[in-house]
């Protein structure tokens, strides 16, 4: 059996800034002083928030929420997809939420791509994604569509308190979007 030498070792892969190793190290520091707050999995404010995954949105701070107040569902665009409906069904039926807040934002990257994104991925990897991209031209229009998807879902028992907003990434303000 031979032992690898420096000349024939696999090159090391650099961890990008903010990579997983840094997160694990941060968690170790966090856990050193962590105390179980004794919170329930049931949100104390009975609200689920669906929001874009954009890094410019500090959702809890923007909405005045803290740990234990709400469920947070984030995805590209903050659109209401089948998986969001699944999570909302669990949130409402098993964990007691009754309100849904939808948050899109200005300057969203989902307005800059199209459904052709799936074609590009298929050409690159040889397999077509099974999921729709859910790109949109107008955040306001997509909020309205998301409100409709929540309100018409047969899986959600609480659809009366569903409101949608567009968060301005430059001012931090929410603008409510009226439903159709």
Taking the whole predicted model, whether its pTM rises above 0.75 is answered as yes
Q: The tokens 């009226």 sit on which residue?
A: 178
Residue 25: the pLDDT is 95
Dihedrals phi, psi of 90, to nearest 5 degrees: -65, -45
* pLDDT tens track for 54-75: 999 999 999 999 999 999 999 9
C-alpha 33/C-alpha 28 separation (Å) is 9
Q: Which residues of the chain have pLDDT under 50?
A: 1-12
Residue 6: the pLDDT is 44
Q: The tokens 């004794």 sit on which residue?
A: 38
Instruction: Quote the radius of gyration of the chain (alpha carbons, Å).
Output: 21
Determine which helix (DSSP H) or strand (DSSP E) holds 20, and give its type and residue range. Answer: helix 20-33
Residue 108: the pLDDT is 97
| Burial class of residue 111 (count of CB atoms within 10 Å of its CB; 0-12, 13-18, 19+) | middle
Quick check: 156 and 150 in contact, CB under 8 A?
yes
């Amino acid at each position: 059996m031979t032992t690898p030498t420096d000349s024939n070792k696999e090159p090391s892969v650099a961890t990008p800034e903010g990579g997983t190793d840094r997160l694990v190290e941060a968690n170790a520091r966090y856990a050193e002083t962590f105390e179980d707050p004794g919170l329930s999995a049931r949100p104390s404010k009975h609200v689920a928030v669906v929001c874009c995954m954009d890094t410019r949105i500090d959702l809890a701070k923007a909405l005045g929420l803290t740990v234990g107040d709400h469920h947070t569902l984030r995805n590209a665009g903050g659109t209401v997809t089948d998986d969001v409906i699944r999570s909302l069904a669990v949130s409402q039926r098993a964990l007691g939420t009754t309100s849904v807040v939808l948050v899109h934002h200005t300057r969203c990257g989902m307005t800059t791509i199209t459904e052709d994104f799936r074609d590009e991925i298929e050409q690159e990897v040889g397999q077509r994604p099974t999921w729709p991209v859910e790109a949109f031209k107008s955040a306001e229009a997509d909020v309205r569509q998301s409100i409709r998807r929540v309100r018409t879902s047969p899986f959600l028992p609480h659809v009366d308190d569903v409101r949608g907003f567009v968060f301005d990434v430059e001012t931090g303000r929410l603008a409510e979007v009226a439903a159709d």
